[in-house]
Chain A
Amino acid sequence: MNENAHLLASDGDGFILDPEDLRAIEHERAHYEQPQAACIEALKIVQRRHGWVPDGAIVAIAETLGIGPAEVEGVATFYSLIFRQPVGRHVILICDSSSCFLVGYDTLREALSSHLGIGFGQTTADDRFTLLPVCCLGACDGGPALMIDDDTYGPVAAEDVAALLEDYP
C-alpha cells in the first residue's frame, strides 16, 4: 500500500461492504495463514449480494484482507465466473465443451441467442439475462447442458428454451 492508495479508495464509487459480507469475509480470512487465500471467497461473497464486483468492492476487499487492490483485481479477472461488469438478474452459462458440442450445443446456442436477442457477453435490455459460454459443467451425460444461476439443466432441446426461461423472472 502506498501514499496514494487512499486516493483510490476515496475516488471509488462509494461502495461500502455490507456488514454481513464484511463479517463473512473476515470469517473466511481467519481460515487461512495468508490473506490472499481468502480472496476468491471474498469476491464470491460480494458477487452473491450484488450480482457482480464493482471497483469499489475490489478496494474494500483489499482493505479488509490487508492486501493490495491490484492483487485482488488479478484474482478477480482471472476467474471467468467473477463478473467485473454488471450482468443481468440471471446468468445463463451454456456449455461449449466437446461432448456438448457433439450433441447439439450449436442449435441450443442459436435458440437461446435468437430468443433473447443477445450474443455471448451481452445482457438483455430488461437486465434479465446475461448469456455466457462455459467450458464444462461436468454434465456430459446429459448434453447439451446449460446452467441458469445455480441450476443445471440437460439435455435441453431448442424448443424447451422459452418454457425454461419462464422460471427466471
Chain B
Amino acid sequence: MNTALSPAASAQADAFTLTLDGAEVSAYPGETLWQVAKRAGETIPHLCFKDAPGYRPDGNCRACMVEVEGERTLAASCLREAKPGMVVKSATSERARISREGVMELLIADQPDRDDSPDRSSHFWAMADQLAIDATAVKERLPSREARSEPTVHHVVAREGSLTHDTTHSAMNVNLDACIECNLCVRACREVQVNDVIGLANRGAASKIVFDFDDPMGDSTCVACGECVQACPTGALMPATLIDEQGHGDSKVADKTVDSVCPYCGVGCQLTYHVKNDEILFVEGRDGPSNQNRLCVKGRFGFDYPRHPSRLTVPLIRREGVPKGIDPDFDPAKPLSHFREASWDEALDLAAKGLVDLKKAHGPDALAGFGSAKCSNEEAWLFQKLVRTGFGSNHVDHCTRLCHASSVAALMECIGSGAVTASFMQAQEADVVILTGCNPTVNHPVAATFFKQAAKRGTKLIIIDPRGQAMGAYAHKALRFTPGSDVSLFNAMLNVIVTEELYNQEYIDAHTEGFEALKAHVRDLTPEAMAESCGVSAEAIREVAREYAKADKAMIFWGMGISQHTHGTDNARCLISLALACGHTGRPGTGLHPLRGQNNVQGASDAGLIPMVMPDYQPVSDAQVRSAFEELWNTKLDDKPGLTVVEIMEAIHDGTIRGMYIQGENPAMSDPDLSHARAALAKLEHLVVQDLFVTETAQFADVILPASAWPEKDGTVTNTNRQVQMGRQAMPLPGDAKPDWWIIQEVAKRFGLPWNYQHPRDVFAEMTRGMPSLDHISWERLEREDSVTYPCPADDAPGADVVFSDAFPTASGRAKFSPTLPLPPDEPIDADYPTVLTTGRQLEHWHTGSMTRRARVLDDLEPEAVASLAPSELRRLGVQPGDPLTITTRRGEITLRTRADSLMPEGMVFVPFCYAEAAANILTNPALDPFGKIPEFKYAACRLSKAAAREAVSP
C-alpha cells in the first residue's frame, strides 16, 4: 500500500496497550477492538463487518460482541475504538459467546438449509462453523419464518415485478431468502463504488434489499461492478456462474486461485482468478494499490472471451485466390472458408519468409510492425526489438498513437517525462480536481470510485467537457464548452491566472522556464474574448481558474477528449502550463495525470513500441542512445525515426511499406477513416497477424498466428499510476495457440536473430539493463510484491507515488511553459455537415470489441451499436429512441440505433467504436496532430438522417 496515504506510520509512535483475554496487547489510536484482536491473532466472528479498505463498520449484526470490563452491556468490537488500559474479554467471555451464538442461531433459523443455499461455503456458514453451531439442531429447535413478510404498513404494497429470487441479470443472481440485511451490499454500492443502486427499503420484518425502486436487478440502473457480490457474506448475491439450476451454489469449488491483473483498462486492478478444470469460474478483486479490491463489470465478469467458440487454436494460411478484405459472409468461428490450417513450422516459415523477402527486395523501409498495448511489457520489448534489429528500421508503433501520443509529446517537451506525475489515488488528498476530456465512470470505472469518494469528502471536482457525465452529480462546477474550443478555454484560464496574479512566483522561479513568454502570450486571450467561441460565460471561466489557482493542492486529470484532436498536443501543453503556473505538481495531492487507456499502454510505450524513441523514451536520433542499445543487442540500429500508425497506412498507399507484422492490434477497426485504412491493409503484399481471433484486421492477413490471452500467460504490465504489476497464468492455452513472446521469438529466429529466451523473466532481466526506469524492480521482486511503482529508489523501498518534487528530468532540471494558439478543429461543422460526431468507449466494451463482444455477460449487457443523442436532438430529427439513424461524413456512412441521452449536448452525436457492424471509424477524420501524430477521433463534421425502415439494423 502507499505509505504516503497510510496513517499507520505516524500512529505507530502513539501505540498503547490494553488487555485482551488476559494478555497485554498493543493498539494504535483509531483502531477498533476487532482490529486489535486480529493483530493479536484472533478473528472475532463478524457478519455485517468486512475487513477491507473502504468498508465502514456498521455494528448492526451483533455477531462480534465483546465484554469490556466496567461496562454493563456488551460492545460491538467492529465499532468500539480501543483505549489505553481497556480490559476486554472476547474468546474468554461466556456472555459474549452466548450472545454471538444467539445471533447466529436466529439467523440460521431463517436461512435456507446449507445444502440448499446459494453458497454453502459462504462467510456466514464459515462463521457458524467457527462458533461450532449445529445448524440442523438449531433449525429443529427454532421456527423459521414462513416466507419473507409482506410489507406490514398497509399503504406500502410490494411493487409489481418485485422479486425474491432474481435471475434477471446475466452476471449475478439474487436470492433474498439468504439475505440477513447486514447492509454490506448497500455500503458496497453506495459508499465503496458510489454507484447508488442498492438500497434497504421498507421497515421491520418487511425490510428488503432493493435495486432502485425494487426493480428486478437486470432492469435496474446497476452497472454490474459486482462489488455487492464480493461483499455479501451469505451468497444472497452471487456470481451467476456459481449457481446451478436449482439455485444452489458454492464459492469454494475452485481447484486453484491465481493472482493476476485485469486485462482491460489502464487502472490496473489486481484480481484473483478462481479456476476449475482449467476454466475461470469467477473473478474477485484483490487489494492492489490502484483498486483496493474493487473491479468494474469488465474485469469481474468479462473473463470468458478466451474460450469463445471463435478462438483461434491453430495457425492459419490464406487460401489461394481468396481476396483480402472484410467479407460480410465471413464467420470468424468458421475461418476455413477463407483460410487453411497449417503447422506452426509452415506458418512461421511462411510468415517470416514473406517479410524477409520484402526486406531483401526493397530494403528495411518496406516493413513495419504494430505491437500491442494489451500484451505484456516483455512482449512489447521483444516486438520492438524484432522490428529494430530484425526488420532493421524504427517503423514500430502501437495504439498509444491513437490515444495519448499527443499528451506524451507535450509532457516530454515540457517536463521531460511521459508518465503521470502522481497516481490517481492522490486525488483523495487534493482540494480541487479538474477532470477534462475524460469520462472516468465509463473508461476508468475503478478510478472513478475514488474520485467520487473524494468529492463526497469535500474535494471540489471541476468537470470541463462538452458532454455531461455521471460524475457530474458530484461536481462542484462543470464547464460544458463548445466542442473543439478547448485551447481557447484553457488559455483564457491562463489569462485569468496571469492578470489576477494568481500564479505561484516562488514555484515558477525555482522550477520552470519561459513563464514571461507565456505571460505575454496569453495577455490578449481574455475570458471575455474567448467566451463566445467556448460557449461558456467569462465569469464561469474566471471562477474555475481562480479555484484551481487558489487551491492549496490541485490535480488535473485528462483523457482522450484532450488528446484526440489535431490540437491535442496544444491541449496538453495548456494543462501543463496551468499546473506549472500554480505550482500544482510535485507535492501530495497535486499533479498532472493523463488517464491511460489500455492495461499496458504505459508499459508498451515505456518498452519502446514507439517509432521515434527507444525504450524509456530515449530518442533514436541520439547517437549515444543508439550505441548503448547497439551494445546491449549487439547489432547496428537505424538512426532514422520510424513512421507512426496513420503514417504507415499512408506509406502503404504510397507503395513504400509492403509488408507488416501486426500483433494484437486491430487497425481495421481502430484507425480513422477505415475505408482508407482497410484499403491500405488490402494492398499489403504480405501481412502477418498474431491475435486471439480472426479480427477485422486478420481478415486481411496472409498468415494468422494464434496467440495467448492474458489469463494464459505470465508477464508484467504497467498501469496509469506507473505501477509495474505481475500477471500470472491461470489457464492453459487452447489447442495449438502459443504465448506471444514465443511466437515473436520464432519469427525473430527466422530473421536470423540468435534469440533464446526461455521465459518472460529472461526478457524482463534484459529490459532492466536497457531501461533505467526499472531500476530496483526485478522479476523476483514483482513475484513477491505483485506491484512496484517506478521510479523506485532502492530494492527494499516503495516507488514514488508523486514525482518531480525537486527537479524535472530535463537538461536544466526545469519544466518549460509552451504557449499555444487556439486552432479550430480540422473539419469544422458547416451547412452540409452541421453536427459534431464524437467517438469513444462504452463501460461494457473494450476498444474494437474483439474481446468484450466475445464475453457473454458484456455482450449481453450492450449487444448492439447505438448512437447517443440529446432527447431534443432526436425530437428535432423526428427519430424515436431505438429507431435507426444514418450518420454520414465526408468519408462514409453508418446506420445504427439511437439512444436518448440527456447528458449529450445538442448538435452532437456520440458513437462507440467497438461495433464492427456499424464501425464508427468509417466516419472519423484522419487529420493528425502535427506533434503527437494522433488523429482527430473526437471531432468530425457529420450529417444525421432518419434511416428508412428497410435499412434498420438487424437485431
Contact = CB atoms under 8 A, between A and B. Distances in A.
Given A9-B902, A66-B473, A80-B153, A58 B213 contact: yes
Contacts of A120: 154
Interface stretch (B14-22, B43-51, B191-199, B301-309): B191-199
B519 interface: no
Given A2-B195, A74-B200, A77-B203, A66 B223 contact: no
A16 B186 CA distance: 28
Interface stretch (A42-50, A81-89, A144-152, A156-164): A81-89
Given A3-B843, A87-B155, A132-B154, A70 B197 contact: yes
A8 B221 contact: yes
Interface in B431-486: 441-442, 445, 452, 468, 470-471, 473-474
Given A4-B223, A10-B871, A63-B473, A70 B154 contact: no
Nearest to B452: A1
B900 interface: yes
B157 interface: yes
A14 to B, nearest CB: 12
Contacts of A121: 154-155, 157
A72 B376 CA distance: 45
A70 B212 contact: yes
A1 B155 contact: no
A2 B196 contact: yes
Given A71-B196, A71-B199, A77-B156, A1 B470 contact: yes
A69 interface: yes
A68 interface: yes
B891 interface: no
B514 to A, nearest CB: 40
A8 B197 CA distance: 10
Interface string A91-130: 0000000000000000000000000000011000000001
B93 interface: no
B155 A70 contact: no
Given A5-B470, A85-B155, A77 B202 contact: yes
Nearest to B445: A3
B201 interface: yes
Contacts of B445: 3
Q: Which of A2, A55, A77 has the most CB of B within 10 A?
A: A2
B196 A3 contact: no
* Interface size classification for chain A: 20 to 34
Interface in B894-922: 900-903
Interface string B206-228: 00001111000000011100000
Interface string A51-85: 00001001000110011111101100110100111
A155 interface: no
B276 interface: no
B190 A7 contact: no
A62 B154 CA distance: 25
B190 A2 contact: no
A18 to B, nearest CB: 20
A66 B153 CA distance: 29
Contacts of A27: none
Interface residues of B, number: 42
Contacts of A62: 196
B197 A10 contact: no
A71 B190 contact: yes
Contact of B221 (A4, A130, A132): A4
A84 B156 contact: yes
Given A3-B442, A8-B221, A55-B213, A83 B155 contact: yes
B223 A2 contact: yes
B266 to A, nearest CB: 18
Interface string B676-716: 00000000000000000000000000000000000000000
Contacts of B200: 74
Contacts of A10: 871, 900-902
Contacts of A70: 186, 189-190, 196-199, 210-212
A1 B211 CA distance: 13
B133 to A, nearest CB: 31
A5 B221 contact: yes
A1 B195 contact: yes
A6 interface: yes
A71 B198 CA distance: 8
B474 A6 contact: no
Contacts of B203: 77-78, 80
Interface in B376-390: none
B196 A67 contact: yes
A5 B212 CA distance: 10
Nearest to A76: B201
B902 A6 contact: yes
A73 B156 CA distance: 12
B221 A2 contact: yes
B155 A130 contact: yes
Contact of B903 (A2, A6, A73, A132): A6
A6 B198 CA distance: 16
Contacts of A8: 212, 221
B269 to A, nearest CB: 17
Contacts of A77: 151, 156, 201-203
B154 A69 contact: no
A71 B189 CA distance: 11
Given A73-B210, A77-B156, A68 B470 contact: no
Nearest to B206: A77
B470 A73 contact: no
28 contacts: A1-B195, A1-B474, A2-B193, A2-B197, A2-B470, A4-B223, A5-B196, A7-B221, A9-B902, A63-B473, A67-B196, A68-B195, A68-B197, A70-B197, A70-B199, A70-B212, A73-B199, A74-B199, A77-B156, A77-B202, A78-B202, A80-B155, A80-B156, A85-B155, A121-B155, A121-B157, A132-B155, A133-B154
The 4 closest A-B pairs by CB, nearest first: A68-B196, A70-B199, A121-B154, A4-B221
Interface of A: 1-10, 55, 58, 62-63, 66-71, 73-74, 77-78, 80, 83-85, 87, 120-121, 130, 132-133
Given A3-B442, A120-B154, A121-B157, 10 more contacts: A1-B452, A1-B470, A2-B197, A5-B221, A5-B473, A10-B871, A10-B902, A58-B213, A68-B196, A73-B212
